[in-house]
């Protein structure tokens, strides 16, 4: 199982029955494929629909049915389409229970940088600024480090998407709660040592007394 699948499977366990959830582009879209049995969530795509389903089978893609990242998706029975004004009205109105986003950097106070690298041509932030401000819970799903460089920092170096809005960080190595006291390490990945996590994390981590192995 690769790192992205581990992250997506673990985040799927965070979603509760009846939640309205927005999945960001990239890795977060994979979460739709691993929703637990018996848990029904309504997935919202910021480009204008609710009822987002999993990835279509090969050869059954509908080029007119895509998520915010332009990937072909499916829609569940009872889904609905609407314009961007309605979509962002849902987000800004506080109707999204959780959003799952990728990140370039996250820091000890829950600051998030996920939309640009200075001096390089990359996509803009899209709807991320609205999502992190409007969603009731912000879950970050990302690879723990980038080419050996920590992504979980004492302070973000890149321009912020939002300040103090992140609630939970899930990587292939760890599940970390963002609290008023700091970052609390709750779970470690299977086959991953605590020393390995500390080596790849610049931020200070509070080790939970109930630290356990991540279940996926």
Residue 53 pLDDT: 85
**51-72 average pLDDT score:** 88
- Cα-based torsion angle of the residue sequence 148, 152, 153, 159 in order, rounded to the nearest 10 degrees: 100
Q: Could you read off the pLDDT of 151-202 as tens digits, one per residue?
A: 999 999 988 999 999 999 999 999 999 999 999 999 999 999 999 999 999 9
The answer to whether the CB of 206 falls within 8 A of the CB of 214 is no
**29-39 average pLDDT score:** 89
* Per-residue tokens: 171: 């990587």
**114-132 average pLDDT score:** 72
Q: Cα separations (Å) of 159 from 115, 154, 196?
A: 8, 14, 28
Residue 69 pLDDT: 79
Q: What is the pTM of this model?
A: 0.92
Q: Is the pLDDT of residue 144 over 60?
A: yes
| Residue with more model confidence, 115 or 207 | 207
Alpha carbons 22 and 44: distance in angstroms, whole number: 5
**Cα end-to-end span (Å), the chain:** 10
Q: Is the pLDDT of residue 210 over 80?
A: yes
Q: Is the pLDDT of residue 123 over 80?
A: no
Active site positions, annotated = 46
The answer to whether the CB of 175 falls within 8 A of the CB of 6 is no
Which residues 6+ apart lie within 8 Å of 64 measured at CB?
Answer: none
Q: Could you read off the pLDDT of 63-121 as tens digits, one per residue?
A: 999 988 788 999 999 999 999 899 999 999 999 999 999 999 999 999 999 876 666 65
């Amino acid at each position: 199982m690769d790192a992205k699948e581990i992250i997506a499977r673990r985040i799927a366990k965070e979603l509760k029955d009846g939640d309205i959830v927005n999945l960001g582009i990239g890795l977060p879209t994979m979460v739709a494929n691993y929703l637990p049995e018996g848990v029904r969530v309504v997935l919202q795509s910021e480009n204008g629909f609710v009822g987002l389903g999993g990835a279509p089978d090969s050869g059954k893609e509908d080029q007119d049915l895509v998520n915010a990242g332009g990937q072909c998706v499916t829609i569940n029975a009872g889904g609905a389409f609407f314009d961007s004004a309605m979509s962002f009205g849902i987000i800004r109105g506080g109707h999204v229970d959780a959003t799952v986003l990728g990140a370039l950097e996250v820091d000890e106070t829950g600051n998030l940088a996920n939309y640009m690298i200075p001096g390089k041509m990359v996509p803009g932030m899209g709807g991320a600024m609205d999502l992190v401000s409007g969603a009731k819970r912000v879950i970050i799903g990302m690879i723990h480090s980038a080419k050996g460089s920590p992504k979980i920092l004492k302070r973000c170096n890149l321009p912020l998407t939002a300040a103090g809005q992140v609630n939970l960080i899930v990587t292939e190595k760890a599940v970390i709660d963002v609290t008023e006291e700091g970052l609390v390490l709750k779970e470690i990945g299977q086959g991953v040592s605590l020393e390995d996590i500390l080596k790849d994390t610049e931020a200070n981590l509070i080790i939970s007394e109930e630290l356990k192995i991540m279940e996926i």
